[in-house]
Every structure is written in structure tokens, then in C-alpha cells.
Amino acid sequence: MLLSIENINVYYGRLHALRDVSLQVDRGEIVSLIGANGAGKSTALKAISGVLRPRSGTINHEGRDLAGLPPHKIARMGVAHVPEGRGVFANMTVRENLLLGAYARRSRREAEESIEKVFTLFPRLSERSAQLAGTLSGGEQQMLAIGRALVARPSLMLLDEPSMGLSPLLVGEIFNLIGEINREGTTILLVEQNAYMALSIAHRGYVLEAGGIVLSGLSADLRKDPRVQAAYLGDVGTPPPE
């Protein structure tokens, strides 16, 4: 078990945002967390990466409890969080953004190697390495955000809404890349509103509703589940253009 969350509770002030959430991610998996807007998907990722502090419960990653640690320590333990809205540093170049991804690596040479690897995965970033990140298109910014997380060579990548604001064509491209990154050995916990895409790529899934997990299982089973179909898949059978 790479990541094991037991009964975490997270509050925004008095709002109980996550209720006794438990979930597991195995090494090598893509696990997807689906649910409606405001169900607490992003909150769960923020609790794992330390942006939010759970009031109770444990978050075990590679045998260590992350709950209560500051974000930079969690990041240095191999958890890379690609936040909703990408969070690229628009006032810095693509290369500087990638160097920040490698911030925890003291060795400049290792950082350069990781960046070169990301450039082979995303050749478009390589072409634009001297360009300010703010001038990239939405899809390129998403690639940069994912590439920046990869530079840290994380054991676990948390991806928050990678499809947000992208054209269906680009969404397909991004999801293909996510699959490729996973096949190369990175474990991924994926939060998506686009449940169809998420369940088509993930091995397993959890359904979050009003801060609590209501369903979980293999993606194939979830896709067939009538409750999931009714609530999240809508028109099943209209796959996005490939």
C-alpha cells in the first residue's frame, strides 16, 4: 500500500468538508476520485499534500503519517500535487517552472536530467522553455504543471481536474499522457469531474458525495453501476472523440 487514508475529517471553519474519508492507493495504480462539484474531491487532495490540515484521521504514505506536516515536507517525501487550475508561475519561464519542480533536489545535474526527461515526454515544453509560462495555451500550461510535478520524480502524483477548461481533443491528449506516465511507474490519484474520462483510465475509483465516500470499486464495475451512470456519467455511450 503506497497511500492509505483512514477516517480523515477536514473542516473549513465550521463547514465539515470531509467526513470520515478512507481510501487506499496501491503502488502502480491510477485511482480516480469522482463526484459532483463541491463534493470534497479537491479538499481530499489538499489534505494529503498538507495544504489543509485534517482535524482527525491518519494519512499514511510509504509508512509515514503525513497528517499535520507542512506542504513542503510532504512534497519532499515524494508526493507531487498538481493543483486545480494548474498553478503555473505565469511570471516565470517554462524552464524556471520546471526548476522549481526540482526544487527539493540539491543536485543541479539531477534536476537537469529530470527536466530533459520531461522534455522528451512533452516536446512542446522544450520548444517553449524560454517563454513565460503565462503566455502558454491552457493545454500547454496543464502539460507544464504535470511536467513540473514529474521533475520531482514523485512516488505519488495527485492530479486535480487536469481536463478543466480544455477542448475535448486536448483532454484526450492529456489523458493519454497520464496513462503513459503511469505505465512508466508513477502512481496517480486523479480527481475529475469528467467521470467518463476518469473511469476509462483509472484502475479503481471512489465516488465522493457531500464529503463522504459512497461507493468504491474497480473502474469497470463503477461504470456499470446504475447509480454512477445516473449521477455522473449522463449520456454513457458518447465517448469523447479520439
In the bound complex, what is the minimum distance in angstroms from residue 100's beta carbon to another protein?
A: 5
Instruction: Rule CB under 8 A: choose which of 89, 121, 155, 216 binds another protein.
Output: 89
x-or-dash string of contact with another protein, 12-51, rule CB under 8 A? -------------------------------------xxx
Helices marked H in the chain? 41-49, 71-76, 94-101, 108-121, 123-127, 138-151, 168-183, 195-201, 219-224, 226-228
96 contacts another protein (rule: CB under 8 A): yes
Calpha distance 159→191 (Å, rounded): 6
C-alpha to C-alpha distance for 106 and 104, rounded to whole angstroms = 6
Tell whether residue 104 is a contact of another protein (CB under 8 A): yes
CB atoms within 10 A of CB 64: 11
Closest to another protein by CB, 13 vs 63, is 13
**Dihedral, CA atoms, 8, 149, 168, 206, nearest 10 degrees?**
-20
How far apart are CB 101 and another protein at their closest, in Å? 6
Q: How far is the CB of 236 from another protein (least distance, A)?
A: 34
Q: Would you say 93 or 229 has its CB closer to another protein?
A: 93
Per-residue binding string, another protein, 146-175, x by CB under 8 A, is: --x---x-----------------------
The minimum distance between CB 227 and another protein, in angstroms, equals 34
Q: Which of residues 55-84 bind another protein (CB under 8 A)?
A: 70-72, 75-76, 80-81, 83
The 3-state secondary structure of 26-68, one letter per residue? CCCCEEEEEECCCCCHHHHHHHHHCCCCCCEEEEEECCEECCC
Question: What is the amino acid identity at position 206?
Answer: Y
Site for another protein in 198-237 (CB under 8 A): none
Could you say whether residue 112 binds another protein (CB under 8 A)? no
> How many residues bind another protein, per CB under 8 A?
24
When asked if residue 143 is in the footprint of another protein (CB under 8 A), the reply is no
Residue carrying C-alpha cell 481510501? 23
Tell me how many degrees the CA angle 231-190-97 measures, rounded to the nearest 5: 135
